[in-house]
């Protein structure tokens, strides 16, 4: 018997063995002897494949089969193991719940948003890794998966590390946003409402106009000063609108906007801050008019324009 390959893993040894047993079964049907042995070396479990034949086609088939199984093991367990390793070394200060969220974000960053993009990523990854594994076991009998990942798949390791860093950034931004929204909400709750009802006309470009219940444009002095203060700075319309509304702290807030804006970020933030004070209109003549009813530029809030 000759040894074709020996593969060492930290976990998943049994699955690897079962996979090789079943995939190499066809060689047995051709009358060859295939022996698969397991042993432990330190924290590694090693699975070795022995073959009774030195026929090139039989050896090539055994190596192809092993390369497939090894690549699957790397792809299926690898990114998770890598993510956990990086989290432990670089981001140990997050608690378990936070780490779970970051893990989810990392996978999304790596795999894309859908099951389809995930499948595509894994197939592509598998074929690249398989090629390198196959080349390696042509020349070497022993493959230690951890070492192979660290030294032979450096580009992939970097890719996972990048995805993780991006996931952490996203997580921190998200957390800041939530804290910010909570702060605004407590501010609004603590304020004595200055008006009972306010109507916001919001365009697709984010410009807006504020009106009272009688549909008079609101031009409060405090709002003017405050808008003036912001006009020259790099503030965006959403910030401007939210700040204005928080200053006014209306008891009731009705938003009129094109349909596409209703599910947008501005409305989402306002909803979180103003909660059940907020209504998004879909029934007045303007809102029923669809996208074109809200001409951009006609509802500029900037005083300078
Ligand atoms: Zn409306």
**CA 210 to centroid of ligand 1, rounded, Å:** 13
Mean pLDDT, the chain, rounded, equals: 87
Neighbours of 102 (CB within 10 A): 20
Spatial distance between the Cα atoms of 279 and 252, rounded to a whole number of angstroms:
8
**CA 235 to centroid of ligand 1, rounded, Å:** 26
Mean pLDDT value across residues 20-39:
93
Spatial distance between the Cα atoms of 257 and 266, rounded to a whole number of angstroms:
11
- At residue 132, the 3 state secondary structure works out as helix
Q: Tell me how far apart the terminal alpha carbons of the chain are, to the nearest angstrom.
A: 86
Q: What is the pLDDT at residue 101?
A: 94
Q: Spell out which residues have Cβ within 5 A of ligand 1, the ion.
A: 256, 281, 284, 287
Task: State the burial class of residue 251 (Cβ atoms within 10 Å of its Cβ: 0-12, 13-18, 19+).
Answer: exposed
Q: Which residue has the higher pLDDT, 198 or 229?
A: 198
The string of pLDDT tens digits covering residues 104-143 is 999 999 989 899 999 999 899 999 999 999 999 999 999 9
Q: What is the pLDDT at residue 148?
A: 95
**CA 250 to centroid of ligand 1, rounded, Å:** 17
**CA 242 to centroid of ligand 1, rounded, Å:** 19
Q: How confident is the model at residue 173 (pLDDT cuts 50, 70, 90)?
A: very high
Spatial distance between the Cα atoms of 35 and 28, rounded to a whole number of angstroms:
10
Which positions ≥6 away from 26 have C-beta within 8 Å?
61
Q: How confident is the model at residue 144 (pLDDT cuts 50, 70, 90)?
A: very high
**CA 186 to centroid of ligand 1, rounded, Å:** 28
- Could you tell me the two tokens for 88? 């432990």
Domain extent listing, the chain: 2-183, 197-293
User: CATH assignment of 197-293?
Assistant: 3.30.420
Measuring CA to CA, which residue among 219, 220, 217 is closest to residue 298?
217
Q: What is the pTM of this model?
A: 0.70
Spatial distance between the Cα atoms of 143 and 140, rounded to a whole number of angstroms:
7
For residue 279, list its beta bridge partners. 254
Spatial distance between the Cα atoms of 177 and 156, rounded to a whole number of angstroms:
31
**CA 82 to centroid of ligand 1, rounded, Å:** 51
Q: What is the pLDDT at residue 243?
A: 84
Measuring CA to CA, which residue among 116, 14, 124 is closest to residue 69?
14
For residue 44, list its beta bridge partners. 41
For residue 210, list its beta bridge partners. 200
Mean pLDDT value across residues 230-252:
77
Q: Which residue has the higher pLDDT, 160 or 81?
A: 160
Q: How confident is the model at residue 219 (pLDDT cuts 50, 70, 90)?
A: low
Spatial distance between the Cα atoms of 207 and 239, rounded to a whole number of angstroms:
11
Q: How confident is the model at residue 208 (pLDDT cuts 50, 70, 90)?
A: confident
**CA 286 to centroid of ligand 1, rounded, Å:** 6
**CA 285 to centroid of ligand 1, rounded, Å:** 7
**CA 162 to centroid of ligand 1, rounded, Å:** 45
């Amino acid at each position: 018997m000759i040894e074709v390959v020996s593969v060492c893993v930290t976990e998943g040894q049994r699955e690897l063995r079962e996979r090789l047993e079943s995939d190499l079964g066809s060689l047995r049907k051709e009358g060859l002897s295939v022996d698969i042995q397991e042993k432990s070396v330190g924290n590694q479990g090693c699975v070795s494949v022995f073959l009774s034949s030195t026929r090139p086609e039989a050896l090539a088939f055994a190596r192809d089969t092993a390369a497939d199984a090894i690549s699957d093991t790397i792809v299926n367990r690898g990114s998770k193991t890598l993510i956990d390793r990086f989290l432990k070394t670089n981001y140990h200060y997050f608690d378990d719940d936070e780490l779970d969220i970051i893990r989810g974000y990392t996978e999304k960053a790596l795999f894309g948003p859908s099951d389809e993009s995930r499948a595509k990523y894994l197939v592509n990854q598998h074929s690249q890794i398989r090629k390198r594994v196959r080349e390696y076991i042509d020349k070497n009998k022993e493959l230690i998966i951890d070492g192979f990942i660290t030294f032979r798949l450096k580009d992939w390791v970097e890719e996972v590390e990048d995805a993780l860093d991006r996931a952490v950034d996203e997580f921190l931004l998200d957390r800041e946003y939530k804290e910010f929204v909570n702060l605004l909400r407590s501010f609004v709750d603590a304020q004595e409402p200055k008006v009972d009802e306010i109507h916001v006309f919001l365009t697709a470009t984010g410009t807006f106009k504020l009106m009272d219940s009688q549909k008079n444009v609101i031009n409060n002095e405090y709002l003017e000063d405050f808008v003036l203060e912001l006009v020259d700075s790099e503030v965006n319309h959403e910030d401007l609108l939210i700040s204005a509304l928080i200053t006014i702290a209306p008891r009731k807030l009705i938003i009129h906007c094109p349909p596409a804006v209703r599910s947008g970020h501005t409305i989402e933030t306002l909803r979180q801050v103003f909660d059940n004070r907020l209504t998004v209109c879909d029934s007045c003549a303007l809102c029923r008019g669809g996208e074109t009813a809200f001409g951009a530029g006609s509802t500029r809030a900037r005083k300078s324009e």
